[in-house]
Structure 1
Amino acid sequence: MLVARHSTLLLVDFQHRLAPVIDGAQQTIDVAGRLARVAGLVGVPVIATEQIPEKLGATSPELLPLAGQVIAKRTFDAAGEPGLPQALDLKRGQVVVTGWEAHVCVLQTALGLLRLGFRPVVAADAIGSRASFNKEIALRRLAHHGIEIVTGEMVIFEWLENADHPAFREAIALIK
C-alpha cells in the first residue's frame, strides 16, 4: 500500500509544448493535477522535471503551480541527473511517477529510481506517449521489472487511508 508520509509525487516532463503530440494529453494532465492537489492536502511533496526546458518549454501551466520543486534535465532518466536524487528522501521511498513520454522518460526514470533503491509506482492514467502502443509496451516493461502499475484514484485512496482523514471531503471533491 502507498502511504502519504512515505511518498513523493513525480511529474515527469509535462511540458506544455509537448501536449499537442501526446495521445490523451489533457486526461493525463487532469489526473496528475488531481494527484498533485491531493498530495498537497496529505503532505506529499511534488517534484516536476523538465526535459531541456530552453527548447521544450516549462511544465504545463495547470501543473506548474502545484510543484514544490522543478528540476531541469538533459538525460531521459531523471534519476540520472544529480538534481532528482538530491531532492528525494529515501524515507519517502515510494515515488508515484506520472508524465510524458511513457516509453522514454517515464520508463527510464522509473527504472532509474528502482536502481537507486526507491520504490517507483506508475500511475497508468497519468502517463502518456505520442502513440498509445508505446505507452502500452512501456507499462508491460515496467511491470516486468516489478514496478507496480496503479491508477490515480488508487493512489489517492491509499494516501487517505480511510474516510476519517481530515482531507477526505476535499480530496473526494477533486475526484467527482
Structure 2
Amino acid sequence: MMRAADTALLVVDVQERLLAVQPQGARIEWNCRRLLDGAKTLGVKAVITEQYPEKLGPTPKVLLSCTDEPALEKIAFSCGERGEVFAAWLEAGIHRVLLAGIETHVCVQQTALDLLAAGFQVLVAVDAVGSRYKVDHGVALRRMEASGVLLTTTEAALFEWCERAGTPQFKAISALAKQTPPAGSEMV
C-alpha cells in the first residue's frame, strides 16, 4: 500500500490545450486537483510537469495553486527527462509514484515505464488520466498493468495516504471524497 511518507504524486502535462481536446477533461482536472489537495494535506511530495508549454499552454491555475513549486517544463514525452526529480525522491526514501495526467498513451505511459526501469513501484489513478481516444487510453492502461504498474483510483489513493480515521487529515480527505464530480463527467 502507498503511504504518505514513501509515495510521490506526479501530475503529468495537464495543460489547457491538452485538456480542451480530452473528452473527460473536466474529470481529469477535477481528480488531479483532489490528488494535489490531498497530497498537500498529508505531506505527500507532488510535482507537476508541462510538455512544451510554449505550444501546449500552461497548467490551469487551479492546479498550480495546490503546490508551492512551479511546474517543471520538459520537451521529452517521458518525465524521465527530469531525472533530478526521480533522484531526489529516491534520496528522500520515496520508492512509489502515483501518476495522473495527460495523455495516458504518451507521456503518462512513457513516464510509467521509465519509473519502473528506475526501480520505483508505479501506480496510475485511472480516473485522473485520459487520452483523446478510448482505444489509446484503454490499451495504454492494459500495457502499463502488464508491465507491472498498479491501477488505482483517486479516492482509493487519498484514503491509502491518509491511513486512518479520526484525525484532522481524515476530515479533509473525507471532504475531498464527498465532492461532486463535474457535470457530464463519466466516471471510469
- The CA deviation at 1:82 is 3.6
Question: What RMSD in Å do the two structures reach over aligned CA positions?
Answer: 1.3
Distance 2:141 2:36 in 1: 21
| Secondary structure of 1:163 counterpart | coil
Tell whether the 8 Å contact from 1:16 to 1:61 is kept in structure 2 after alignment. no
Counterpart position of 1:34: 34
Shift of 1:172: 0.7
Q: Which residue of 2 aligns with 1:85?
A: 86
Where do 4+ consecutive residues of structure 1 move more than 2 Å? Answer: 80-90
Give the alignment's TM-score, normalised by structure 2.
0.89
Give distance in 2, aligned partners of 1:115 and 1:15: 26
For 2:151 and 2:167, locate their aligned partners in 1 and report how far apart those are by CA, in whole Å.
Answer: 25
Q: 1:8 corresponds to which letter in structure 2?
A: A
- Helix, strand or coil: the match of 1:66? coil
Give the total of aligned pairs.
Answer: 176
Q: After superposition, where does 1:113-128 map in structure 2 within 5 Å? A: 113-128=115-130
Shift in Å, 1:87:
4.7
Structure 1 SS opposite 2:49: strand
Structure 2 counterparts to residues 22-171 of structure 1, below 5 A:
22-69=22-69, 70-90=71-91, 91-171=93-173
Give SS of 1:127's match: strand
Does residue 1:3 correspond to 2:3, yes or no? yes
Unaligned runs of 5+ in 1: none
CA displacement at 1:66 relative to structure 2: 1.5
1:100, 1:68 → 2: CA distance? 21
Asked whether the equivalents of residues 7 and 92 of structure 1 are also in contact (C-alpha less than 8 Å), the reply is: yes
Aligned CA distance change for structure 1 residues 59 and 83 (closer, same or farther; 3 Å): farther
Kindly provide the CA deviation profile for residues 116-148 of structure 1, in whole angstroms up to 9, marking residues without a partner as x. 111110000000111122111110000000110
**Letter aligned with residue 51 of structure 1:** Q
Tell me by how many angstroms 1:86 deviates: 4.3
What are the Cα deviations for residues 80-117 of structure 1, in whole angstroms up to 9, with x where unaligned? 33443345335111111000010000000011111111
TM-score by length of 1: 0.94
